[in-house]
Amino acid sequence: MNEQLRRAPSPDLLPRFTAIVGDKYAITDPVALEPFLVEGRGLYHGRSSMLLRPGSVGEVQAILKLANETKTPLVPQGGNTGLVGGQIPFDGELILSLTRLDKIREVDPASNAMTCEAGVVLAKAQEAAAAVDRLFPLSLGAEGSCTIGGNLSTNAGGTGAVAYGIARDLVLGLEVVLANGRMMNLLSKLKKNNTGYDLRHIFVGAEGTLGIITAAAVKLFPRPRAVETAFIAVPSPATAVKLLNLAQARVGGTVTSFELIVRDVVEFAIKHAHGVRDPLASRHPWYVLMEVSSQHRDGLRESVEQLLTDGSAQGFVEDATIASSLDQAKALWHMRHVLPEVQKPEGGSIKADVSVPVAAVPQFLEEASAAAKAIIPGCRPVPFGHLGDGNVHFNVSQPIGADTAQFLARWGQVNDAVNKIVLKYNGSISAEHGIGKLKRDSLPKVKDPVALELMRGLKRMLDPNGILNPGKVL
């Protein structure tokens, strides 16, 4: 049998799955299937003979029950925006799409809670919160198409995590269908509930390998009444850390974003992205894009100005601009958001999504850049990311004029060197993207062996027939 299809169901099973969801929602036409087989950047291309689109939790249960009884592997999929291949059926598995479970079951502003089904698109969840004057703070590039179920299964991060936490931190309750088709109702809106073991966090971030999240109760927050956005030139990552600490300690509001950006990638943006201009008059080696929010309408701008004055006096700030309108703030964020894109015209890019303790970011950046340059002289490290979380996207662009294929062939070598430095600082080789297929083989090298054994035990207990997203994570 074709290696790519070794997990494909036997054809006589397909009608039984079709019968659960109905013909209309059991997609087998190759053209209709195609968009669900490739991920956005075209890095992964899977194969599958059928995509199932259940319209209710009961249908999800029936699908899993049948899959479990017949040992038919499934790959769960939300908005298909994952970056590590977790949502792709590499070996002919059936695809279980959760996108029809798209009801917002309840919005409870007084309790600051909202219950969404797995297929609710993140932007819709944000809108539902805003409609009752609340904030659902999870925010990331793919928010127009990614889903709550995918966000939770991959434990998404994003730009608001420094203040509001990652996806895991936003979960109050979960509804999960287990491999055997049984539904576990942990859908509590409670902030405090000490009745036995916390089972939610087993499923959050498990990338669909332990159970299928069908709904979640998530936290809402008051909407900020004042927001200030500043673009700040800093002499070095070390001073950026000091500025972060000063901002968190002294500003009259909450630091809701704190993004570190190297000059080189700002130049890429100015050169390649439409409508991006250098925000400051002269060049500086590093920048911080900071957003501060407050529930109080007045005084936030003055507070940010004071912070910049104090930061300047202490040598943390070389120059800065505070957006004086919503449009100016949007322009600054636009520059931040194009950073992944503007690396493309510069040729090949070797990427790493890593985190280290915040205080170790400066040393990490120095050593990782040196290591990359030692392996590939002339290469251009262009790190940027969520300094407030210690989460750096350590991307390396090829040397000017180099052969792209030759450069990309050294991805593994550069990654190994970077990961070695990550581990030296007790960091993580996957800060916010997950393990999926991309980093599966690296996991045993970095994970505590006792933890890895416990992970395998959980997998055996919860999915004894190995039907849930096989070949991912473990």
Report how far residue 206's alpha carbon sits from residue 434's, in angstroms, rounded to the nearest whole number: 9
CB of residue 249 to a copy of itself, shortest distance in Å:
4
Rg (CA), the chain: 23
Residue with smaller CB distance to a copy of itself, 261 or 356: 356
Angle (CA) 455 85 408, round 5°: 115
Alpha carbon 422 to its chain centroid, in Å, reads: 19
Site for a copy of itself in 383-442 (CB under 8 A): 386, 389-391, 426-435, 439
**DSSP conformational letter for 437:** T
CB of residue 325 to a copy of itself, shortest distance in Å:
22
Show the DSSP H helices in 175-272 as ranges. Answer: 200-203, 237-250, 263-272
Residue with smaller CB distance to a copy of itself, 323 or 473: 473
Q: Is 107 in the site for a copy of itself (CB under 8 A)?
A: no
CB of residue 335 to a copy of itself, shortest distance in Å:
23
Q: Specify the stretch interacting with a copy of itself by CB under 8 A; choose among 26-34, 56-64, 69-77, 200-208.
A: 200-208
Candidate residues 360, 371, 379, 421; the one interacting with a copy of itself per rule CB under 8 A: 360
Candidate residues 6, 45, 103, 225; the one interacting with a copy of itself per rule CB under 8 A: 225
Candidate residues 270, 331, 375, 446; the one interacting with a copy of itself per rule CB under 8 A: 446
Report how far residue 350's alpha carbon sits from residue 382's, in angstroms, rounded to the nearest whole number: 10
Report how far residue 115's alpha carbon sits from residue 15's, in angstroms, rounded to the nearest whole number: 33
Q: Is 105 in the site for a copy of itself (CB under 8 A)?
A: no
Instruction: Give just the sign of the alpha carbon dihedral 117, 120, 123, 124.
Output: negative
**How many residues lie near a copy of itself (CB under 8 A)?**
96
Site for a copy of itself in 19-38 (CB under 8 A): none
Residues 293/329, Cβ–Cβ less than 8 Å: no
Q: Is 365 in the site for a copy of itself (CB under 8 A)?
A: no
Site for a copy of itself in 126-185 (CB under 8 A): 133, 154-155, 157, 161-162, 166, 168-169, 178, 182-185
Candidate residues 195, 274, 377, 441; the one interacting with a copy of itself per rule CB under 8 A: 195
Residue with smaller CB distance to a copy of itself, 48 or 214: 214
Residues 21/65, Cβ–Cβ less than 8 Å: no
Write out the H or E segment, with its range, that includes residue 446. Answer: helix 443-446
Residue with smaller CB distance to a copy of itself, 53 or 386: 386
Residue with smaller CB distance to a copy of itself, 108 or 319: 108
| 3-class SS of residue 270 | helix
| 3-class SS of residue 105 | strand
Report how far residue 307's alpha carbon sits from residue 317's, in angstroms, rounded to the nearest whole number: 10
Strand segments, DSSP code E, in 142-211 are 171-177, 183-186
x/- track of binding to a copy of itself for residues 38-67 (CB under 8 A):
------------------------------
Candidate residues 34, 103, 295, 409; the one interacting with a copy of itself per rule CB under 8 A: 295
Of 420, 417, 368, 424, nearest in space to 392 by CA: 368
Of 245, 82, 39, 156, nearest in space to 431 by CA: 156
Q: Is 213 in the site for a copy of itself (CB under 8 A)?
A: no
x/- track of binding to a copy of itself for residues 448-467 (CB under 8 A):
x-xxx-xx-xx--xx-----
Q: Which residues contact 391 (CB under 8 A, 6 or more apart)?
A: 157, 161, 353, 354, 355, 385, 431, 432
Candidate residues 11, 12, 42, 192; the one interacting with a copy of itself per rule CB under 8 A: 192
Site for a copy of itself in 238-267 (CB under 8 A): 241-242, 245, 248-254
Q: Specify the stretch interacting with a copy of itself by CB under 8 A; choose among 70-78, 95-103, 205-213, 309-317.
A: 205-213
Residue with smaller CB distance to a copy of itself, 249 or 281: 249
